[in-house]
Amino acid sequence: MKQEKYRVPTKGKISLSDFDPDDSSLFEGDKSEGKTALLKINEDIEALQEKLYAEGKHKLLVILQAMDTGGKDGTIRSVFEGVNPQGVKVASFKTPTPLELSHDYLWRVHSQTPARGEIVIFNRSHYEDVLVVRVHSLVPEDVWSRRYQHINDFERMLSDEGTTILKFFLHIDLKEQAQRFLARVEDPTKNWKFNPGDLDERKFWEQYQQAYEDVLNKTSTEWAPWYVIPANKKWYRNWLIAVILRDTLQSMQLEYPPAPANMDYYHKHLLEMTLSEPDQP
């Protein structure tokens, strides 16, 4: 699979400088053609998700991480368009509440993981506890540095219990982020998305890049792989994630549950009922 070029290996080290945020090399076409191709993949995902929900055996967890303006919300809207909302949930993890802080840092996360038949999308995740917590020194290094192994063990347990895990880092560059901030300021319909505090976070860009590199290198595993998704081009980001998601669902060999016994009898009975019922006035 060509998209494996974006998968972070489980051995060795990668650098984010090895990944071009402007890359769109796997799609042979332009932006318009990419958007059209995505619509077809959306249909495939919709059909596969319906089988996943009906079969009730598999669980899929999709984790999205990115710098501010990286496109997590846009990815969710575009990639999961048309899916059955009964079987797809989004969990967002913001600043922990006092109750959450009184527990271990994974406590609030575990209850949001998918049940059988569900897809759950984490818009940010437990990785914030080795990202923002690290960059802003919210806990000592000897505390956050232990969390990589905690997270690997946690995700291994989820995998062992039947959860398929896909993790996507939406990779943009500093200039693209500035342009997206500017778009939020210039477009009145996007003003609500602009947070002046995000400009303060921008000053920590290099520290976040190093923190993300460590996350990718320490927590990309066979059971929970990371993909570095070029995200400067929104259409390519959406297309690429949709392809990986569709291929993952197809690999599950999903099937509708078997029909109840005596379907011919019920078909005949219901047909007779419909023929005998009087027409409504």
CATH classification of the domain holding 237: 3.40.50.300
Identify residue 215 by its one-letter amino acid code: V
pLDDT at 79: 96
Does residue 180 carry a pLDDT above 80?
A: yes
Q: Describe the crossing of helices 234-251 and 31-55 by its angle, rounded to 10 degrees.
A: 30
202: closest CA among 135, 133, 130?
135
Predicted confidence (pLDDT) at residue 278 exceeds the cutoff of 70: no
- pTM metric for this prediction: 0.93
Residues 123, 64 contacting (CB under 8 angstroms):
yes
Percent share of the chain, pLDDT over 70? 98
Look at residue 203 and tell me if it is in a domain: yes
In a domain, residue 91? The reply is yes
pLDDT greater than 90 at residue 220: yes
Question: Alpha helix (H) ranges present in 97-204?
Answer: 98-101, 107-110, 132-135, 141-144, 147-160, 174-186, 196-202
Domain count, the chain: 1
Q: Rounded mean pLDDT of 187-210?
A: 93
> pLDDT tens-digit profile of 21-69?
999 999 999 999 999 999 999 999 999 999 999 999 999 999 999 999 9
Q: Give residue 7's domain range.
A: 2-276
The per-residue pLDDT of the chain, averaged, comes to 94
Q: Quick check: 280 pLDDT over 70?
A: no
The pLDDT assigned to 281 comes to: 59
pLDDT value, residue 277:
64
Strand 88-92 relative to strand 119-123: parallel, antiparallel, unpaired? parallel
135 belongs to a structural domain: yes
281 domain-assigned: no
Q: Is the pLDDT of residue 143 over 90?
A: yes
Query: Does residue 46 form part of some domain?
Result: yes
Q: How far apart are CA 274 and CA 108, in angstroms?
A: 50
